[in-house]
């Protein structure tokens, strides 16, 4: 049964403002092109959902009943921008406006086997909505005709949004596509909704039936990584994964321990407080080293293989716990010097530094703070060129001299004015002892 509920004047205004952010003429162009081509155009999914939930419609994903690619082409002609077509799915992305815009042909999907990618055919709006993950994502607003605008609510979305429920559209939904379970856990935290009892039961049953086994490593990795973003939500999502018996999706021996969750929570907070870094922060790099720390190498290798990690990420993950343990060991050493600390902390990524800051070992926390606040900023004013100009041949010994000089600066045994003298002594005597003499 389909209900049409008018948007409030405020909601209509927010929708128009949002469209204008994408392009000043977006709504007018959609109306003009859809009328010319005789197709109907809707905003569906996250946009209407977030308009109701938060008043901030996020992405305006367009669904076209008719030829979506042709419509997107017409829009691109009018607005400019570059069109990227994915003909297999009847979707297109219009790039180069204020931001990108996704346009899809309304479609039906059939699953040849659980977990596989679906077969796709053009369909009606209700068929397009029927293939979606949760009722809250089935709200549509026709914009080819409006204003005035109406929410088209065919699956009780407005009521579910009000009651905070994530409800699936049919009993086989999680079997068709188990990534929906992980999407649901993501929506729980992000949108403050909750899987309803039936969905929770179905999620447990689907997981127990091994439906995740049919999922490719690539799709599983993408969803697991998205689940761990932002990393501030990772702790509660891991709790839910555990509650629903889903940790075994990654590895049968994987368990969530209370102290690991506390470490992850505190490290996530520490990560937020870290100064901006050039490296992009990725939640999985904070969470997986902790969870996998309990497994032997074979277990870690099995998880890395299941997630089809890129070789460099796989190597990083397999070594991550030893890397951290080595750093902890150095930072706990009674006679540690700043240059010892710098050597083990400098190569670390921000997620690993956050884990050091959140560990229950005061010397580790103090050294890490000192490294962040002071040591990492120590730079030589001396350059290799100056040493070459002083008569030394370019080669690895110049690098070693610069490194030794930097370490002496870190330890405070020389000042910036002593750098050249120190490095020259080092090169002449070929050792640190010579430079110190
Ligand atoms: P977000 O704000 O995270 O982007 P979203 O709801 O817009 O949330 P998308 O991943 O952009 O999520 O997907 C767009 C829409 O496509 C969703 O609203 C949902 O209706 C549908 N969708 C995405 N993935 C699936 C899936 N695995 N199964 C069914 N429907 C899906």
Looking at the structure, do residues 83 and 128 belong to the same domain, yes or no?
Answer: yes
What integer pLDDT is reported at residue 436 of this predicted model? 59
Number of domains in the chain: 3
Sign of CA dihedral 7, 13, 17, 22: positive
Q: Give the pair of three-digit tokens for residue 201.
A: 């039961």
What integer pLDDT is reported at residue 183 of this predicted model? 97
Residues with Cβ within 8 Å of residue 3, at least 6 apart in sequence: 152, 153, 154, 158
* Domain membership flag for residue 212: no
List b or e across 25-44, with b for residues whose CB sees 16 or more CB atoms inside 10 angstroms: ebbebbbebbeebebbbbbb
- Cα torsion through 29, 30, 35, 36, rounded to 10: 60
Whether pTM exceeds 0.85: yes
Q: Which runs of consecutive H residues, i.e. helices, occur in 150-227? A: 157-163, 173-176, 179-191, 197-208, 217-227
* Domain membership flag for residue 14: yes
The two most distant CA atoms of the chain are separated, in Å, by 89
Residue 174 Cα to ligand 1 midpoint, Å, equals 14
What integer pLDDT is reported at residue 212 of this predicted model? 93
CA 423 – CA 420 distance, rounded (Å): 5
Residue 35 Cα to ligand 1 midpoint, Å, equals 27
What integer pLDDT is reported at residue 111 of this predicted model? 79
Ligand 1 pocket test, pick from 123, 125, 178, 183 with the greatest ligand atom count within 8 Å of Cβ, gives 183
What integer pLDDT is reported at residue 431 of this predicted model? 64
What integer pLDDT is reported at residue 81 of this predicted model? 85
Residue 147 Cα to ligand 1 midpoint, Å, equals 26
Nearest CA to ligand 1 atom 27: 180
Looking at the structure, do residues 12 and 157 belong to the same domain, yes or no?
Answer: yes
The domain spanning residue 87 has which CATH number?
Answer: 3.30.460.10
Last residue of a domain, one of 163, 195, 226: 163
DSSP 199-212: HHHHHHHHHHTTGG
Question: Residue 152 sits in which domain range?
Answer: 3-163
- HSE, CB side, 13 Å, CA atoms: give it for residue 349: 17
What integer pLDDT is reported at residue 302 of this predicted model? 94
Nearest CA to ligand 1 atom 9: 46
Looking at the structure, do residues 141 and 26 belong to the same domain, yes or no?
Answer: yes
Looking at the structure, do residues 35 and 96 belong to the same domain, yes or no?
Answer: yes
Residue 206 Cα to ligand 1 midpoint, Å, equals 20
What integer pLDDT is reported at residue 52 of this predicted model? 97
Looking at the structure, do residues 31 and 147 belong to the same domain, yes or no?
Answer: yes
Residue 138 Cα to ligand 1 midpoint, Å, equals 10
* Domain membership flag for residue 251: no
Looking at the structure, do residues 319 and 403 belong to the same domain, yes or no?
Answer: no
- Ligand 1: atom nearest CA of 59 is 7
What integer pLDDT is reported at residue 432 of this predicted model? 64
What integer pLDDT is reported at residue 384 of this predicted model? 94
Nearest CA to ligand 1 atom 17: 45
What integer pLDDT is reported at residue 201 of this predicted model? 97
Beta sheet of 150-153, edge-to-edge order = 3-6, 150-153, 140-142, 40-44, 62-65, 101-105, 91-95, 82-86
* Domain membership flag for residue 173: no
Angle (deg, nearest 10), helices 234-243 and 258-273:
160
pLDDT tens for the chain, 437 residues long, are 689 999 999 999 999 999 999 999 999 999 999 999 999 999 999 999 999 999 999 899 999 999 999 999 999 999 998 999 988 788 999 998 778 899 999 999 887 877 777 888 889 999 999 999 999 999 999 998 878 999 999 999 999 999 999 999 999 999 999 999 999 999 999 999 999 999 999 999 999 999 999 899 999 999 999 999 999 999 999 999 999 999 988 778 888 999 999 999 999 999 999 988 777 899 999 999 999 998 999 999 999 999 999 999 999 999 999 999 999 999 999 999 999 999 999 999 999 999 999 999 999 999 999 999 999 999 999 999 999 999 999 999 999 999 999 999 999 999 999 999 999 999 998 766 656 55
Residue 273 Cα to ligand 1 midpoint, Å, equals 31
- Ligand 1: atom nearest CA of 180 is 27
What integer pLDDT is reported at residue 433 of this predicted model? 60
Ligand 1 pocket test, pick from 45, 62, 154, 227 with the greatest ligand atom count within 8 Å of Cβ, gives 45
Looking at the structure, do residues 27 and 136 belong to the same domain, yes or no?
Answer: yes
What integer pLDDT is reported at residue 147 of this predicted model? 87
Could you count the other beta carbons within 10 Å of the beta carbon of residue 185?
25
Residues flanking ligand 1, CB < 6 Å:
45-46, 58-59, 61, 132-133, 137, 177, 179-180
Residue 81 Cα to ligand 1 midpoint, Å, equals 24
Nearest CA to ligand 1 atom 18: 45
């Amino acid at each position: 049964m389909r209900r049409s509920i008018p948007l409030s004047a405020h909601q209509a205004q927010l929708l128009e403002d949002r469209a204008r952010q994408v392009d000043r003429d977006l709504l007018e162009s959609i109306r003009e092109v859809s009328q010319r081509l005789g197709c109907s155009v809707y905003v569906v999914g996250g946009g209407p959902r977030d308009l109701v939930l938060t008043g901030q419609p996020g992405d305006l994903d367009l669904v076209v009943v008719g030829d979506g690619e042709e419509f997107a082409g017409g829009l691109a002609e009018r607005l400019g921008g570059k069109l990227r077509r994915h003909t297999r799915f009847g979707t297109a992305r219009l790039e180069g406006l204020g931001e990108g815009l996704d346009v899809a042909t309304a479609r039906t999907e059939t699953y040849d086997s659980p977990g596989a990618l679906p077969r796709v055919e053009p369909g009606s709006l209700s068929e397009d909505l029927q293939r979606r993950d949760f009722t809250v994502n089935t709200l549509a607003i026709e914009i080819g005709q409006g204003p005035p605008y109406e929410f088209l609510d065919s699956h009780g979305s407005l009521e579910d949004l009000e009651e905070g429920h994530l409800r699936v559209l049919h009993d086989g939904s999680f079997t068709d596509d188990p990534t929906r379970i992980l999407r649901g856990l993501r929506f729980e935290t992000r949108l403050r909704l909750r899987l309803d009892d039936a969905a929770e039961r179905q999620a447990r049953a689907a997981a127990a039936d091994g439906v995740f086994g049919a999922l490719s490593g690539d799709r599983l990795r993408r969803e697991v990584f998205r689940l761990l973003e932002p990393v501030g939500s990772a702790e509660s999502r891991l709790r839910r994964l555990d509650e629903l018996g889903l940790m075994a999706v990654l590895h049968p021996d994987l368990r969530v321990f209370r102290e690991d969750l506390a470490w992850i929570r505190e490290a996530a907070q520490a990560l937020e407080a870290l100064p901006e870094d050039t490296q992009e922060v990725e939640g999985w790099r904070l969470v997986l080293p902790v969870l996998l720390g309990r497994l032997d190498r074979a277990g870690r290798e099995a998880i890395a293989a299941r997630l089809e990690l890129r070789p460099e990420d796989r190597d990083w993950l397999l070594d991550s716990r030893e890397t951290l343990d080595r750093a902890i060991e150095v930072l706990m050493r009674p006679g540690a010097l700043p240059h010892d600390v710098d050597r083990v902390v400098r190569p670390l990524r921000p997620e690993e530094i956050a884990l050091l800051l959140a560990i229950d070992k005061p010397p580790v926390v103090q050294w890490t703070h000192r490294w962040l606040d002071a040591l990492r900023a120590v730079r030589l004013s001396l350059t290799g060129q100056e040493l070459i100009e002083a008569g030394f041949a370019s080669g690895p010994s110049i690098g070693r001299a610069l490194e030794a000089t930097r370490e002496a600066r870190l330890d405070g045994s020389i000042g910036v004015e002593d750098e050249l003298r120190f490095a020259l002594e080092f090169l002449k005597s070929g050792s640190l002892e010579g430079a110190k003499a």
